[in-house]
Amino acid sequence: MIETAVSYRRDLQLIRLYYFVSIGASGFLLPFINLFFRRQGLSGAEIGLLGTVQAVVGLAAAPVWGRWSDRFNRPHLLIQTALWGTAVISLILGKQSLFAPIALLVGLNALVSAGWAPLSDNLASSIAERFHNVGFGSIRLWGSLGWTLVTAVAGRFIEILGLYFAFVGQALGMGLAAVTIYFLPKQPAPSSEPGVETAVAGNLRQILGAIRHNPRLVSLTIGLGFVWLLSSGLYQFEAIFLDELGAGETAIGLASALNAAIELPAMLWADKMLKRFSAGWLLRASLLLQVIRMGAILSIPTISMIIGLRLLLGLQFSLYSVGIIGYINAHTHKAYRVTTLALITVTLRNLALMVGNPLSGLVYDAVGAYWLYGVGLIGALGGWLALSLSKNK
């Protein structure tokens, strides 16, 4: 019994370290990737098209990764494959300057990394369930800590060493994360857990049918799909907008560090709110915070306002991260939980981005990044309405 308790505690520390390293590695590149595309001479429409390439590949690949995980119980191997693939592709992508090879590499990266987030989140959730006082947020906040520390200094190093340093930093971090995940033991298959029937797993068509006949999952799909469709431009063009306003790489990196720093206490608070209220409450609150943030930037579109409101973004993201895991866990059978998580958070999101990204690029080329905040505000309101209508079902 004592040995098992020690083993469980070791697993908890390892998964926290894994989140710290893997998400910290992403902090080297993600805040600057679209700035890199822009400086390579790509137009807003081409940057939007890259998002579409990523979305098309990701929406097809994510459920496949999820089904592999649900059926073969090899999340560690699958996650390691995605991490090593991302590392190699990152080193090659940073050397490209033409649209065609960039698009090819973006697509390959989407292929190998589509299952990384849902597989990692499900693994973390399964470890957290062993403890009475540990929630998913208390694990995910270590990723926020890694992101905070990396983005706080990455921008300055990039200004000195050049943008390729961002690609090298991510590759090294992903390799270290792959080594870390190796030491976590194999998790029990869902079918071996008490009360879980193997027959429920079914195939992908059956899982889609189960989602379609679940009113809460339908509302979640509609709400988040609407949000992602109309908010895609914010993911792609905010760093470019800050650069156009006069902010350098250091300021852009610090902006990313700021919202991640708030996630450290906010993730723990979100865990407590999940116990007190519901996962749906967390998701709706997250969307209301996005409405407030979009409205404030539309009113005062300055560098200080955008960076300052990253504090609100940190709280918003924490509520979403804990809420989405709690929502899927509450309304999905364990036998196909990873697949459902992948379908909604990766496939659905990529499907929305497949349409939203090129439209956002056209909006950016036509009227600039400022109006993308108005579009994002409408998306948040629509998503909040869809989730609100389902809460009494």
Q: Is 226 exposed, middle or buried (0-12, 13-18, 19+ CB in 10 A)?
A: buried
Provide the pLDDT for residue 7.
64
Provide the pLDDT for residue 193.
43
Instruction: Mention the CATH class of domain 2-184+202-390.
Output: mainly alpha
Greatest CA separation found in the chain? 65
Domain ranges of the chain: 2-184+202-390
Question: Which of these, 230, 275, 211, 235, lies nearest to 384 by C-alpha position?
Answer: 230
From the CB of residue 353, how many other CB atoms can be counted at a distance below 10 Å?
Answer: 25
Provide the pLDDT for residue 195.
42
pLDDT band at 349 (very low <50, low <70, confident <90, very high): confident
CA-CA distance, 391 to 393, in Å (whole number)?
6
Rounded to 5°, angle at Cα 308 from 305 and 309: 85
Taking residues 58-73, report their average pLDDT.
69
CA neighbours closer than 13 Å in the CB half-sphere of residue 385: 8
pLDDT band at 340 (very low <50, low <70, confident <90, very high): confident
Q: Which two tokens stand for residue 331?
A: 């309304």
| 65 close to 80: Cβ distance less than 8 angstroms | no
Question: Which of these, 308, 315, 329, lies nearest to 282 by C-alpha position?
Answer: 315
Q: Which two tokens stand for residue 310?
A: 């990253």
Provide the pLDDT for residue 192.
42
SS3 372: helix
| CA 374 vs CA 133, 255, 299, 315, 379: distances in Å | 40, 21, 10, 21, 9
Rounded to 5°, angle at Cα 159 from 155 and 165: 75
* Phi/psi-derived region of residue 100, left when phi > 0, alpha when psi is between -120 and 50, beta in every other case: alpha
Q: For residue 194, what is the DSSP state?
A: T
| 381 close to 153: Cβ distance less than 8 angstroms | no
* Alpha helices per DSSP H over the chain: 2-29, 33-39, 44-72, 75-93, 99-113, 116-128, 136-161, 164-182, 204-212, 215-245, 249-276, 279-299, 303-308, 310-331, 337-342, 349-367, 370-390
Of the chain, the percentage scoring pLDDT greater than 90 comes to 20
Q: For residue 190, what is the DSSP state?
A: G
pLDDT band at 71 (very low <50, low <70, confident <90, very high): low
- Specify the higher pLDDT residue, 365 or 87: 87
pLDDT band at 188 (very low <50, low <70, confident <90, very high): very low
Q: Which residues contact 248 (CB under 8 A, 6 or more apart)?
A: 155, 159
| 68 close to 338: Cβ distance less than 8 angstroms | no
Task: State pTM to two decimals.
Answer: 0.69
Taking residues 77-88, report their average pLDDT.
88
281-302 tens-digit pLDDT? 999 999 999 999 999 999 999 9
Provide the pLDDT for residue 189.
44
5-63 tens-digit pLDDT? 556 678 888 888 999 999 889 888 888 888 888 888 888 788 878 878 887 887 777 76
Q: For residue 300, what is the DSSP state?
A: S
CA-CA distance, 28 to 286, in Å (whole number)?
26
Provide the pLDDT for residue 186.
57
pLDDT band at 102 (very low <50, low <70, confident <90, very high): very high
251-262 tens-digit pLDDT? 877 877 887 788
Question: What's the mean per-residue pLDDT of the chain?
Answer: 82
Provide the pLDDT for residue 393.
46
SS3 22: helix
212-252 tens-digit pLDDT? 888 888 888 888 888 888 887 777 788 888 888 888 778 87
- Specify the higher pLDDT residue, 258 or 178: 178
